[in-house]
Each structure stands twice: as structure tokens, then as C-alpha cells.
Amino acid sequence: MKKDIKILGIESSCDETAAAVVVDGRNVLSNVIASQIDIHTKFGGVVPEVASRKHIEVINAVVAEALEEAKLTLSDIDAIGVTYGPGLVGALLVGMQYGKALAFATNKPFIGVNHIEGHISANFIAHKDLKPPFVCLVVSGGHSFIVHMEDYGVFNVIGQTRDDAAGEAYDKVARAIGLGYPGGPKIDKLSKEGNPLAIKFPRANFHDDSLDFSFSGLKSAVLNYLNKMQMTGEEINKADVAASFQKSLIDVLVDNSMKACKLKNVNKIAVAGGVASNSSLRKAMLEEGKKIGIEVLFPDPILCTDNAAMIGSAAYFEFMKKRTSDLFLNAVPNLKLGER
């Protein structure tokens, strides 16, 4: 009988300290997340030094809790998978050094995991039968990609943002209309009270066969609109601004995702990353997919946000390809998707 592979996943690339135990890349035994959002909210965004210090304070307890919840001890674990990039260097180093020390002390394999590949892998947990090939739209606070996942561990970037990430645009627009950090969930909620057709904001389109995004023009258009309204003393309907901004951004995400499926001749698209929790994006992707016969998949919101179960899943597929890392692996803040 095949032995179950149990991976301890660790994630600390930004403002969540997380640890999880995942079996065979798909079954989550525990998924512990210590969020620092409350601490960073008062600064209006993540303060890297504060994030690193907080990770150090809690990582021991977070890992212990993940093992306890899984009813396992370290000796039951087959390998340790840790995010080594992209992310904030000081934050990444905390999880990396912790994971390396555990791997060294227990003589277990150590696997460096790309955070974005982790986000994509969350779909293997959410959809037990999902197998490549498929297209994945990854939309987070720092990244926006369209990826053609040809096989396990093979990530071909076929579209990406040329400037701001989708989540970054959400956060910046939210700040401009006074909603605070993190802005994505707040715009998501406020948009429900607004008219998405009230204000015509631009949608960046490149030449016909490009799947790239650009969101900085949209962000500037929103800021210009707010300035103009303030100067002329007109009342700003924040819900209409939120809904109209969101519609422009989502229209482009949906268009390019569907175009990618046609281009690669696949009928399945998975969505991943923090912005994948967005209720309007989910609705628009499902509606468009239904129209043209493309199956659209999302993980639960808890697997969309930064977590370590997704890292344990991605580490499993690396482990199966015998791609383990040595203990000299360093944190790589600008790690590219698919880079080894």
C-alpha cells in the first residue's frame, strides 16, 4: 500500500504567520494562520520590520498548534516545505530559518516553495480531482498572472500585469476613498450598494493576442475623478466609485482569462490568490465560463488568502518530482514564477 506523504508547510512571506499539515498534497489535517492585519491596519499597509518581528514572536506556537491539531509529532512528518519567495525578505527569512532548523534537527527533506505556486496549488486542495492541464488566474496583493499549468510543477506564464497587481489597485483605491487597509474586502462589500455603470473608468487593452494586464491607468483615473469632484465641490458617491472601479478591473480579468483558455484550448480555469475571494469576480467568472463552456474553479476564501496548507500542497508536488532544496537555500524576494 502506498504510504501517505505528510508535509509540514510554513508560510511567512508577508503579514500572515502560518503552518499546516497536508497529506498527499490534497488533504489538510491542520491549517493555522496568525494574521497581523490588526497591527498593520493602523499604518495603512504592511510595515516590513514590524511583520518580521511579529513572525519571530509567534512562529513557534503556530507550528506547534499545526502539529497538535493534526494529532502528529514532528517524527510523523515526511518533509518540510517553506515559502522562500517572492515576498518581504525579512519576513521570508523567519519562516525559512525556522523550517531549515527543523529539517536539520530532524534530518527530514527541506523544500523551498514559491509563494505564487502555493496559491495555485490551493486549487488541488479545494478540488480533489483537479489535474493539469488547466489555466490559472492568480490575483493577489503583489502579483497578477495568467498561467498555463501544463503539468504538475510546470508553470508557464502567458499573461501578467505590466504595473500594479490587482489587489494593489484595490488597496490603493480603497485608501483614496477612505476605506482603510486591506481594501479589497471593503470595496467588495461597498460595491454591492453602488452602481457599476455609474462612472466609466478605462480598461487597458494591449494588442489582440496579449493577455497582459495594466491597472495603474485605472487607479489614476479613479484618483483623477476624486480630485475633480473635490475641486468642483460635487458630492462623491463612494459606493458608485467602488462598484465602477471594480467592474473595470473585473471585466479585464474575465476577458483575458477566457481568451487564455481559448488560446491554450483548455476548458478549465482555476482562480487563486487573495482577490479570488472577491464575490463579483467569482460571479462574473462563473457566468462567462457558463456561456462559453469553461469550468471555473475557486478555492474557499480561507485557501485564497495567504496560508500554509497551499505551501504544503505545492511542496508535495515538488517532493514527488524529487525536487528538494539544500539548507543553503536563501530567501528570494523577487522570485519568478516557475523559476528553479
> What does the binding site for ligand KG4 look like in residue numbers (CB under 6 A)?
14, 140-142, 167, 170-171, 182-185, 188, 273-275, 277-278, 305-306
Select 266 or 303, whichever has its Cβ closest to Zn ion.
Answer: 303
In the block, which residue shows the cell 488568502?
Answer: 305
185 contact, one of ligand KG4, Zn ion, none, CB 5-8 Å limit per kind: ligand KG4
Least Å distance between CB 23 and Zn ion? 23
Q: 299: which residues sit within 8 A by CB, 6+ positions away?
A: 122, 123, 125, 126, 272, 276
Burial of 139 (C-beta count, 10 Å sphere; 0-12/13-18/19+): buried
52 contact, one of Zn ion, ligand KG4, none, CB 5-8 Å limit per kind: none
Work out whether the CA dihedral 316, 318, 321, 327 comes out positive or negative. negative
Least Å distance between CB 68 and ligand KG4? 25
Write down the number of H helices and E strands in the chain: 11, 10
Least Å distance between CB 228 and ligand KG4? 25
Residues 133-162 touching Zn ion, rule: CB under 5 A, are 140
State in Å, rounded, how far the first CA of the chain is from the last one.
Answer: 32
Select 21 or 46, whichever has its Cβ closest to ligand KG4.
Answer: 46
Least Å distance between CB 151 and ligand KG4? 24
Select 112 or 274, whichever has its Cβ closest to ligand KG4.
Answer: 274
**Full DSSP string of 109-121:** -EEEEEHHHHHHH
Pairing relationship of beta strands 154-160 and 144-151 according to DSSP bridges: antiparallel
Least Å distance between CB 116 and Zn ion? 7
Which grid cell is 328? 543553503
Select 14 or 21, whichever has its Cβ closest to ligand KG4.
Answer: 14
Please report whether residue 306 would count as binding Zn ion according to CB under 5 A. yes
188 contact, one of ligand KG4, Zn ion, none, CB 5-8 Å limit per kind: ligand KG4
Select 114 or 277, whichever has its Cβ closest to ligand KG4.
Answer: 277
CA distance 215 to 224: 14
Contact in structure between 191 and 239 (CB atoms under 8 Å): yes
Residue 166 DSSP symbol: H
Least Å distance between CB 40 and ligand KG4? 11
Element (H, E) at 1: none
Select 306 or 318, whichever has its Cβ closest to Zn ion.
Answer: 306
Residues that bind Zn ion (CB under 5 A): 140, 306
